[in-house]
Amino acid sequence: MDQRSVYYREIVHLVRRLELHHAAHLDVSDARRRGVCRNVLGLRKQGLRAPLTFTIAFTIAIIGGAAAYYAVHNVAGIPGWYLWPAGGAMAILIVAGLRPYSILFAALLALTDLYGAAARMMPYYAGLAARYHGSVTQFTLAATRLHTPMWLAVAWIGSTIALPLLMLQRGAKTRM
- What is the secondary structure of 14-47 as a DSSP string? HHHHHHHHHHHT--HHHHHHHTTTTSGGG--SGG
Q: Shortest CA distance to 48 belongs to which of 82, 113, 86, 92?
A: 92
How confident is residue 36, by pLDDT bands cut at 50, 70 and 90?
A: very low
- Residue 5 CA to residue 8 CA, distance in Å, equals 5
Convert the pLDDT of each residue in 117-127 to its tens digit.
Answer: 888 889 999 99
Say whether 136 sits in a helix, a strand or coil: helix
- Residue 103 CA to residue 79 CA, distance in Å, equals 29
> Per-residue pLDDT averaged across 15-34, rounded?
52
The DSSP symbol for 118 reads: I
Length of the chain, please?
Answer: 176
How confident is residue 27, by pLDDT bands cut at 50, 70 and 90?
A: very low
| Cβ neighbours, 10 Å, residue 60 | 15
> Per-residue pLDDT averaged across 79-96, rounded?
75
How would you label 92-106 residue by residue, b for 16+ Cβ within 10 Å and e otherwise? Answer: bbeebeeeeebbebb
Write down the H helix ranges in the chain: 3-24, 28-34, 49-73, 87-97, 102-115, 122-125, 139-145, 150-175
- Residue 68 CA to residue 74 CA, distance in Å, equals 9
- Residue 59 CA to residue 105 CA, distance in Å, equals 22
Q: Which residue has the higher pLDDT, 88 or 30?
A: 88
Find out whether 143 and 150 touch, Cβ atoms under 8 Å.
yes
Global pTM?
0.52
